[in-house]
Amino acid sequence: MLKIKQKFHITFPRFRLWPHRLKLSRPTPENDELITAIDADSAVHDDNWQLSEHPDTKQLTEYWTEVEEDIKHDPEWQKISESDA
């Protein structure tokens, strides 16, 4: 049986794309409305969060009560009771 031996010796020349080191320019500030709004919002509403050993349970209960009321008033919300489960 005839066997063909593959002998490929391909060499590529070394290319120098940049003779000097690539220098990047500094980013320029954009006058984008969304970026400006996000920056302003984070600066104004940047709360100093602190973890405490004993959280304010009354404040947490009031917050979650508000969340539950908001959910109940959502027209797409469906209540599933324990008897339905």
pLDDT of residue 6: 76
Q: Which two tokens stand for residue 22?
A: 């690539």
Tens digit of each residue's pLDDT (9 = 90 or more) over 3-15:
777 777 777 777 6
Its pTM stands at 0.33
Distances (CA, A) of 34 to 26, 39, 45: 21, 9, 16
Tens digit of each residue's pLDDT (9 = 90 or more) over 24-75:
777 777 788 888 887 777 767 666 667 778 888 898 899 999 988 888 888 7
CB 71 within 8 A of CB 77: yes
Q: 79: Cβ–Cβ under 8 A, 6 or more apart, which residues? A: 72
